Amino acid sequence: EVQLVESGGGLVQPGWSLRLSCAASGFAFDDYAMHWVRQVPGKGLEWVSGIDWNSATTDYAPSVKGRFTISRDNAKNSLYLEMNSLRVEDTALYYCGKDIGESSDYLTLDYWGLGTLVTVSS
């Protein structure tokens, strides 16, 4: 059974940093691209970042480019999102998602975690 479990969310002040993790199990992690998608509670979905199977390619939404860094450790079946210079508008539930393919050039997420909540507030 595919499982994605996010962790690392919390309450931080504007300008602070946070590192999210996603532990994957139940599939060959190093065969698939992975992504982060966020959702303000009660609002729509926003793609944040993606990484291909071997970390050769990463992509970011313009709203986070230069502040967030996506990475993965295939030996640990884990995905990460390093978030720096956090803003109030980064407040959201952050989901980790598994793509159906190895390339991050497309976004089709067939499995999602339950999400981890990031709140940025002074």
Partner 1 sequence: DIQMTQSPSSLSASVGDRVTITCRASQGISKSVAWYQQKPGKAPKLLLYVASTLKSGVPSRFSGSGSGTDYTLTISSLQPEDFATYYCQQSYNTPFTFGQGTKLEI
Q: Pick the closer one to partner 1 by CB: 9 or 113.
A: 113
To partner 1, the closest distance from the beta carbon of 13 in angstroms equals 27
To partner 1, the closest distance from the beta carbon of 42 in angstroms equals 10
Q: Pick the closer one to partner 1 by CB: 109 or 118.
A: 109
Positions of E strands within the chain: 3-7, 10-12, 18-25, 34-39, 45-51, 58-60, 68-73, 78-83, 92-99, 109-112, 116-120
Residue ranges of alpha helices (H) inside the chain are: none
Q: Pick the closer one to partner 1 by CB: 13 or 108.
A: 108
* Residue ranges in contact with partner 1 by CB under 8 A: 44-47, 50, 59-62, 95, 100, 106-110, 112-115
